[in-house]
Chain A
Amino acid sequence: GAGVSQTPSNKVTEKGKYVELRCDPISGHTALYWYRQSLGQGPEFLIYFQGTGAADDSGLPNDRFFAVRPEGSVSTLKIQRTERGDSAVYLCASSFIGEAYNEQFFGPGTRLTVL
C-alpha cells in the first residue's frame, strides 16, 4: 500500500514569508508526527496528533509554528514569518496506536530553504 507522502518535496521561500507543508499519512493510521532534521543531526520532535487533536506539541520551537489535522488524516504544518534558522528537512511520520508497540513510518520529507 501507499506510504506516508509529503508535499512539496522542496520549498524555497524568503525570510518573513508564510509556508505550509502537507503530510498524508498511511491510511488507517491514527497517530501523526512532525519532526525537523537539520544537517548532520537526527530528527527532532515537533508535534504529535492522536486523531484530530494535538496530544503533544512540546517540540514546537515558538508560536510561529502551528499544525492542524482537522479530519484526523491529512496534516498541515504552518510556519509564519519564516526565519533563516527554520531551514531544515521537515519529516512526517504516522503509526497505528493500539497495538502492543508503536512503529512509526516516515515520509520522504520536505526540504525547506529560507533565503
Chain B
Amino acid sequence: KQEVTQIPAALSVPEGENLVLNCSFTDSAIYNLQWFRQDPGKGLTSLLLIQSSQREQTSGRLNASLDKSSGRSTLYIAASQPGDSATYLCAAQGGSEKLVFGKGTKLTVNP
C-alpha cells in the first residue's frame, strides 16, 4: 500500500528566501508525482506533474524533482513571496489512476 509523507508539516520563512519542500513515498512503482497548492477553504490547484520517466519539471519560480529509486520528490520555490503562503500537497499516482496524498506542508511567507 502506497504511503506518502511530507516534511516539514509547517514552515515559516521571510520573504525572498528560497525553500525546499520534501515528499517521500514508499512504493517506487509510480506513474506520476503531482504537486498541488491549497489555499484555506479552497480546492486544489495543480502546480506541477512529473512523469515517472522524468527527473524534474519547472514552472516559473517552481521546480519539482523526482527520484523514484529513493522514493523522494522535492518542490523548490525560489524567491518566496507572501502570496506563496498556502498548503502544498504532493500526490503519487500508481497504476490504478487514483492519487495517494501526503498530509501537506503549510507554508507561511512573512513580509
Partners in one complex: yes
Question: Which residues on A are within 8 Å of B, measured CB to CB?
Answer: 4, 31, 33, 35, 40-45, 48, 50, 55-56, 59, 91, 93, 97, 100-109
Query: Which residues from chain B contact A4 at a C-beta distance below 8 Å?
Result: 43
Inter-chain contact total with CB atoms closer than 8 Å: 65
Determine how close the nearest CB of chain A comes to the CB of B105; give it in whole angstroms.
11
B-to-A contact residues, CB < 8 Å: 4, 31-32, 34, 36, 42-46, 49, 51, 89, 91, 93, 96-104
Please tell me if the beta carbons of B98 and A56 are within 8 angstroms of each other in the complex: yes
| 30 A-B residue pairings within 8 Å (CB atoms) | A4-B43, A31-B97, A33-B99, A35-B99, A40-B103, A42-B101, A42-B102, A42-B103, A42-B104, A43-B44, A43-B99, A43-B101, A45-B98, A48-B96, A48-B98, A56-B96, A56-B98, A93-B99, A100-B51, A101-B32, A102-B32, A103-B32, A103-B34, A103-B49, A104-B46, A104-B99, A105-B46, A106-B36, A106-B46, A107-B43
A33 to B91, CA, bound (A): 14
Interface of B is mostly: strand
Is B98 within 8 A of A108, CB to CB? Answer: no
Q: Which residues of B contact A109 (CB under 8 A)?
A: 42-43
Q: In the assembly, what is the distance between CA of A91 and CA of B103, in Å?
A: 15
